[in-house]
Amino acid sequence: MTNQWKLKEIVLMAVLGVVFGIIYLGFFLIGQGFRNVLAPFGLGQFGYEIIFGIWFIVSIIAAYIIRKPGVAFTSELIAGVVQVLLGTTAGPQLILSAAIQGAGAELAFALTRWKDYRLRILVFAGMGAAIFSFVWNLYSAGNIALAPWLLTSMLVVRLISGALLAGVLGKWMSDQLAKTGVLRGYALGKERRKQREKGAI
Amino acid sequence: MKKEPFNRILDVNNFSFSYENPEAPLLNNLLFSLYENETVLLIGASGSGKSSLALCLNGLYPEAVEGVSSGNIYYRGKNIREFQKGELNQRIGIVFQDPESQFCMIKVEDELAFTLENRKIPSLEMPQRISQVLHDVGMEGVEKKKIHELSGGQKQKVALASVLLLEPELLILDEPTANLDPLSRVEFIDLLNSLRQKRDLALLIIEHEPDDWLDMTDRVLALGSSGKLIAQGPANTIFTKHAARLKKEGVFFPKCYMPENKNFGVRAPLPSSEEIISVKDLTFKRKRHTVLQNVNLNIHCGEFVSIAGENGAGKSTLLQLMAGLLPYKKGKILFFDRELQQWNQKELRKQIGYVFQNPEHQFITDTVIDELTYGMKLNGYTEEKQEDAATRLMKQFHLMHHRFSNPFSLSGGQKRRLSVAAMLDQTPDILFFDEPTFGQDASTTGELMHIVRQLQAEYDVTIVFVTHDMDIVDSTDRAIVLHDRNIIFNGNPEDLWEREDVINQARLRLPYRIRGIQQEGVIHDLIH
Amino acid sequence: MISSINPAMKAVTIMVPGLLLSFTFDVFTPLVYFIFILIITFTLADIRPMTWLKIFSPFVLVALTSAWMATLYANQTFSYGNVLFTIWGVDITEGSLMTGISLGLRSLCFVALSLLFALTTDSTKFMLSLMQQFKLPPKITFGILAGYRFLPVFRSEYQILKQAHRIRGADREPGIKGRIKQFRRYAIPLLANGLRKSERVAIAMESKGFTGDKERTHYHQMSIQTKDWLFFILFAGMLAITIAVSYSLGYLNIFGRQF
């Protein structure tokens, strides 16, 4: 699989991992803000649920830009490794969590045979990652001990977060990037050019 | 006498290349050869495809960008398409312009080992080869250092070392000194000159400002704006016989072939004696490290001041302090006789403009027009007034056709112009520039200086420039030289050129105007 | 000492308790293991206690939050035992309190394990050993390293962006809309530059003869030695012992079932 990928595409995934490594920090602070408000009611973890979707955004952006099978999975995995290099306090296990999330996002693209990159598919990918990570967290974070009504509402919040913060935001950011002209050498940039040429005719 | 070139290394045979549309190729039907041991200078207008040509020659393009090519390139008689992946790269090495983005490892030794590992050199031989090549480029003992902690000049030497480890026959240098300060630039060129003789290297040098390379150049290739080779031959014929053609195509000339020395405009009328900024006993520390110590400085209304000095001397820090971007604890900075920290931020931003080294850092909207009206909106201008002011700026800065373009997608020169225009939504009293010409080509620099002169003359704006370019320093009203946390020179540029001690201490270089005279003097002395 | 352990092996070792501790829901098991990690951290790992404390302390609050949530809202399986007290109409049982404390302690174990890894591991060597021992393709290995190398560049770029926006008054926009705009203003230039740089560095690497070929020589020859296996056995063994002791003392609880 990796043989079909260009080195620049792999470096791109790593760079996404680094840039979002910086951006995650910002979101982590927002999450803590929510947490502080919700904590007295015992709903502090919800603070992080709200922003959880941002963790899947690398998958969405990379897949939307590069458009090849396996990109959603691998980019999330690479972002996980980069987080470990950056010294994350989630430790090497994060690589495993990243792989699971990435698989969830990849599933959505695989169902369309990696041909459809419209917004709805990106949203599905974000929700796929949300479901996979939710199941994994039942075990890894001990969430299985929580009351069913709480788990259900956590899942709903995470699904919405995945749909919006990963799917919608990911597409929006990639489109913004495409406008700057730096994606000329990638599938998304090429698609844009074709659209423009068609429009011109 | 120059060496007689014997054998051909590369033959480029009716070669064309384009990123997308083969109808309008970037490189058009090129026909030339490169010979053993010769040094060739490749010149051309901005965007004429010089860098793309370099990557076509070592076989990475068109594949890497999925471009289209026609015609052939032969390396020692063998078509480069027939080489294994990675094989040709070892015979033809490239050093790139940007020191930040040509490394993949953190430490110097690992970066150099990366090249050796690619060549499958046995591990046991590596340490010796690494220390040898570092010695060759004058960088002994930096093996364990982190690359990002080195200076620009040192990074380029490490980049050169890593490419030399390929033991190439042909070395391509793609504007390797564009991001270096003047002295590092001279050092790098001298280093290459001695290396090419020791190692029997052929060099292909891509340069916007070819002056310093001319002494070692055997031949010049000139690319025109349509991607065609418009002239090749020895420098003294190219820049004389073909001068008219080259000029028409927008190719930059070495200064020594310019009919008259193009100076960056005339000096404006003498500034008034009123002080716009005065710095008193300013000391600034970053963590425990003292960046500036007891600095005193006055800047007068309408003055054009340049600040020069080595990297890390605190130039940018001083500029940021004067612009109110950094808080200070010891000393005073008065802006119109009032302490900076007592000014209302909004008021201050109206009166102080600041242009950053990389124009992209300043862009905050999606289109050129939004970029220009951003500040006006914040300050509650009417729509009509916004439109008027923006149109005036777009006209003045030649951006009319780019009204709805994304700022990031503009060319280098257009970005630079936009970044200045965006500061002029209301005419500021003072404009700070942090190395605005760094890594820019000669025409962008010339354009910028023209604009600055206009601002100073017509609107009486005070200008402060941090710069490495001594030709710019030469054209300002006053030069300030920083060294070792303090100002070691403050006066007329004319007087600065007399102070050899200051020039050496601060690692400066004389401007071309003076160097030219001195060189002529040497030749004069030799003849008589 | 621990910094000399093969990094890939270290990562795997850290992952073993990182994964298996998630089975346990009693207080004893994670507590004992937490103490064990602390002992290792401050005897074998050459980590400055102040540095460690600075990074670790905020996570105590995070742990408390998750403990409190689990205590309040544990489901039936986990709320065994007597009701200890009632808050906001919710009965807090022995079981739910234990579950909460257990989850909190477990998350502290994870953070301590992560720090033990992060503070003793060289990034380059970690990647190299993933390539040499775990067959990560060179293309991915060096691609990641090339991207990771830009971290300081992005950091300083972020600082410059902040200043540039201040100059333009872009830091003065209030409200959520202003926040979103601000996010875009940082993210897009950072990413645009990042993309350009990743293209350039990929070209530079290939210009140095890098093809992604798996056959290559190694300047740093990474290997797994006896001490690496001992390290693994120490952590895995200690986990087994802790669980065994916990079981024999009757504390062990797996998924709410007492053993």
- The helix/strand/coil state of B259 is coil
pLDDT of amino acid B378: 81
Q: Which of B42, B183, B156, B125 is nearest to B508 (CA)?
A: B183
Residue B249: which residues within 8 A CB-CB, separation 6 or more? B44, B45, B222, B224, B225, B230
Is residue B66 less than 8 Å (CB to CB) from chain A?
yes
* C66-88 CB burial, b ≥16 within 10 A, e <16: bbbbbbbbbbeebbbeeeeeeee
pLDDT of amino acid A200: 60
- Which residues in chain A touch residue C114, judged by CB atoms under 8 angstroms apart? 88-93
Task: Judge contact between B452 and B484, C-beta under 8 A.
Answer: no
Q: 């600082």: which residue's tokens?
A: C159
When pLDDT is cut at 50, 70 and 90, the band that residue B5 belongs to is very low
Most confident of the ranges B226-230, B361-365, B474-478, C7-11: C7-11
SS (H, E, C) B442-510: HHHHHHHHHHHHHHHHHHCCEEEEECCCHHHHHCCCEEEEEECCEEEEEECHHHHCCCHHHHHHCCCCC
Q: Which of residues 66-125 of A touch C (CB under 8 A)?
A: 74, 78, 81-82, 84-93, 95-96
Is residue B518 less than 8 Å (CB to CB) from chain A?
no
Concatenate the DSSP letters of all residues of A96-130 into one string.
Answer: HHHHHHHHHHHHHHHHTTT---SHHHHHHHHHHHH
Residue B3 predicted with pLDDT over 50: no
Between the alpha carbon of residue B440 and those of residues A74, B246, B349, B476, C54, the distances in Å are 38, 20, 27, 19, 44
CA distance B362 to chain A (A): 14
When pLDDT is cut at 50, 70 and 90, the band that residue A9 belongs to is very high
Beta strands in chain C (DSSP E): 83-87, 90-93, 253-254, 257-258
Could B20 and A193 be called an inter-chain contact, meaning their C-beta atoms sit closer than 8 Å? yes
Least confident range of A195-199, B133-137, C47-51, C95-99: A195-199
pLDDT of amino acid B142: 95
- Which residues in chain A touch residue B65, judged by CB atoms under 8 angstroms apart? 185
Q: Which of C129, C161, C195, C257 to mutate to test the interface with A (most CBs of A within 10 A)?
A: C195
CA distance B4 to chain C (A): 29
Whether this model's ipTM surpasses 0.95 comes out as no
pTM (2 d.p.): 0.91
Is residue B198 less than 8 Å (CB to CB) from chain C?
no
pLDDT of amino acid B4: 46
The share of chain B scoring above pLDDT 90, in percent, equals: 52
Between the alpha carbon of residue B318 and those of residues B45, B309, B490, B496, C153, the distances in Å are 36, 12, 14, 20, 22
Task: Judge contact between A102 and A76, C-beta under 8 A.
Answer: yes
| Mean pLDDT, all residues of chain C | 90
Comparing alpha-carbon positions, the chain A residue that sits nearest to B365 is: A176
| Mean pLDDT, all residues of chain B | 88
Which chains share 3+ C-beta pairs under 8 angstroms with B? A, C
| Run of H or E including B42 | strand B39-44
∠ CA B76-B78-B83, rounded to 5°:
110
Comparing alpha-carbon positions, the chain C residue that sits nearest to B167 is: C208
Task: Judge contact between C12 and C232, C-beta under 8 A.
Answer: yes
Is residue A14 less than 8 Å (CB to CB) from chain C?
yes
Hey, what amino acid is at B123?
Answer: S
Q: Which of A6, A8, A181 is facing B406, going by the closest CB pair? A: A181
pLDDT of amino acid B1: 39
Stated length of chain C: 259
Q: How far apart are CA B486 and CA C228, in angstroms?
A: 53
Q: Which of C69, C106, C151 is facing A86, going by the closest CB pair? A: C151
The predicted model gives B203-210 an average pLDDT of 89
Quick: pLDDT tens for B380-412.
Answer: 889 999 999 999 999 988 899 999 988 988 888
Comparing alpha-carbon positions, the chain C residue that sits nearest to B161 is: C208
Q: 């600075």: which residue's tokens?
A: C54
Q: 């169902």: which residue's tokens?
A: A111
pLDDT of amino acid A136: 95
- Which residues in chain A touch residue C201, judged by CB atoms under 8 angstroms apart? 11
When pLDDT is cut at 50, 70 and 90, the band that residue B520 belongs to is low
Q: Which of A11, A44, A185 is facing C68, going by the closest CB pair? A: A44
Could C103 and A142 be called an inter-chain contact, meaning their C-beta atoms sit closer than 8 Å? yes
Q: How far apart are CA B516 and CA B498, in angstroms?
A: 15
Quick: pLDDT tens for B218-268.
Answer: 999 999 888 899 999 998 888 888 888 888 887 877 878 776 555 565 555
Quick: pLDDT tens for A128-164.
Answer: 999 999 999 999 888 888 889 999 999 999 999 999 9
Quick: pLDDT tens for A47-61.
Answer: 888 889 999 999 999
- Which residues in chain A touch residue C18, judged by CB atoms under 8 angstroms apart? 91-93
What CATH number labels A7-200? 1.10.1760
Concatenate the DSSP letters of all residues of A13-38 into one string.
Answer: HHHHHHHHHHHHHHHHHHHHHHHHHH
When pLDDT is cut at 50, 70 and 90, the band that residue B56 belongs to is very high
CA distance A184 to chain B (A): 9
